[in-house]
């Protein structure tokens, strides 16, 4: 017999709850506020019914479970404000790994341009998921607005497959899939997270943190990340990214402070070792 049953997503909670012994704690593991995730659907009769079903299932999961696990304080607050009968909620935040770029021996990577000592390198990493494609289109616009500011943009990952070299400005470089990402983080002055759509937490932001690269994110891109803008990362609306990039270029001490704070956050709090330890402690209490 299980000591505790953890159910992933709200859809299975009613089925599992009927089959679990009443003395066995039932835990609902929430990866998103599902009713919020589905709220973008249009207002047709069919989708209204779907949204009602999603909300009812989510509320049932919250009220049935002996413990709910969320990935952020933001999600916890939404549940507590939305549902009257919230039980105990434990935040197990999305996290990174303690190893940093200093822990690895990395050769300088080959670049598709002759890097000048005055060049300022901004990188973006992503697969070909639509929000990343959308982000690269935004970066292309930024690159065109900063061609005279010495900013070079590196786009890394399979998202590059959706673009061609002749479709992007000359200071934007499509590197595609690379065998080792660390050398490019080491080379970069900032990492970009210009995400404006999608769901869940942008894990790439935590990877930027752990590798010690100053991060610039939209508010949406930073949702669910247990970090403070202006302390652990820079934040800006997407329309002001070019100006913010130039500001960061001209303020190296500000970049250094944020990257140091972000690395320390990963080392002390937002690492899987610490998050897992705290979660297992909470499960044992049940």
Cβ distance 30 to 68 under 8 Å? yes
pLDDT band at 280 (very low <50, low <70, confident <90, very high): very high
Long-range interactions of 56-61: CB distance < 8 A, separation 24+? 57/10, 57/11, 57/13, 57/14, 58/10, 58/33, 58/34, 59/83, 60/10, 60/13, 60/14, 61/7, 61/10, 61/13, 61/28, 61/30
Cβ distance 90 to 285 under 8 Å? no
More confident residue, 46 or 100: 46
pLDDT reported for residue 209: 95
pLDDT reported for residue 41: 64
Tokens at residue 121, please? 């390198």
Could you report the per-residue pLDDT of 25-73, keeping only the tens digit for each?
999 999 888 887 777 666 666 677 788 888 899 999 999 999 999 988 8
Which residue in this structure is represented by tokens 């292309």?
Answer: 140
Q: Are strands 214-217 and 190-193 parallel, antiparallel or unpaired?
A: parallel
Q: Round the CA-based radius of gyration of the chain to a whole number and report it.
A: 21
pLDDT band at 102 (very low <50, low <70, confident <90, very high): low
pLDDT reported for residue 47: 72
Three-state DSSP string of 154-214: EEECHHHHHCCHHHCCCCEEEEECCCCCHHHHHHCCEEEECCCCCCCCCHHHHHHHHCCCE
| Residue 29: half-sphere exposure toward Cβ, Cα within 13 Å | 10
Burial 56-73 (b: 16+ CB within 10 A, else e): ebbbbbbebbebbbbbbe
Q: In the 8-state DSSP scheme, what is residue 142?
A: H
Nearest to 60 by CA among 30, 96, 101: 30
Distance CA 184, CA 107 (A): 10
Could you report the per-residue pLDDT of 153-208, keeping only the tens digit for each?
999 999 999 999 999 999 999 999 998 899 999 999 999 999 998 777 888 999 99
Mean pLDDT of the chain: 90
Give whichever of 82-86, 164-168, 228-232 has the largest mean pLDDT.
Answer: 228-232
Cβ distance 230 to 169 under 8 Å? no
Answer whether 0.85 is exceeded by the pTM: no
């Amino acid at each position: 017999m299980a000591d505790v049953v953890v159910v992933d997503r709200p859809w299975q909670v009613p089925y599992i709850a009927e089959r679990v012994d009443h003395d066995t704690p039932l835990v609902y593991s929430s990866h998103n506020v599902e009713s919020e995730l589905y709220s973008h659907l249009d207002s047709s009769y069919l989708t209204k019914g779907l949204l009602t079903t999603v909300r009812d299932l989510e509320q049932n999961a919250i009220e049935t479970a002996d413990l709910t696990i969320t990935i952020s304080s933001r999600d916890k607050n939404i549940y507590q404000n939305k549902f009257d009968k919230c039980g105990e909620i434990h935040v197990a935040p999305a996290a990174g790994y303690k190893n940093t770029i200093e822990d690895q021996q990395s050769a300088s990577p080959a670049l598709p341009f002759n890097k000048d000592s005055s060049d300022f390198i901004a990188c973006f990493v992503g697969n070909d998921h639509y929000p990343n494609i959308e982000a690269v289109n935004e970066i292309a616009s930024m690159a065109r607005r900063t061609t005279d500011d010495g900013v070079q943009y590196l786009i890394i990952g399979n998202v590059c497959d959706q673009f061609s070299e002749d479709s992007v400005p000359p200071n934007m470089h499509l590197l595609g899939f690379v065998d080792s990402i660390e050398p490019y983080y080491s080379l970069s002055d900032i990492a970009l997270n210009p995400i404006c759509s999608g769901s869940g937490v942008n894990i790439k932001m935590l990877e930027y943190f752990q590798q010690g690269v100053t991060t610039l994110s939209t508010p949406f891109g930073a949702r669910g990340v247990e970090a403070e803008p202006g302390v652990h990362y820079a934040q800006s609306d997407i329309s002001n990214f070019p100006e913010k990039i130039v500001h960061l270029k001209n303020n190296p001490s500000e970049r250094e402070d944020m990257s140091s704070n972000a690395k320390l956050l990963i080392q002390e709090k937002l690492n899987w070792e610490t998050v897992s330890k705290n979660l297992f402690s909470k499960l044992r209490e049940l």
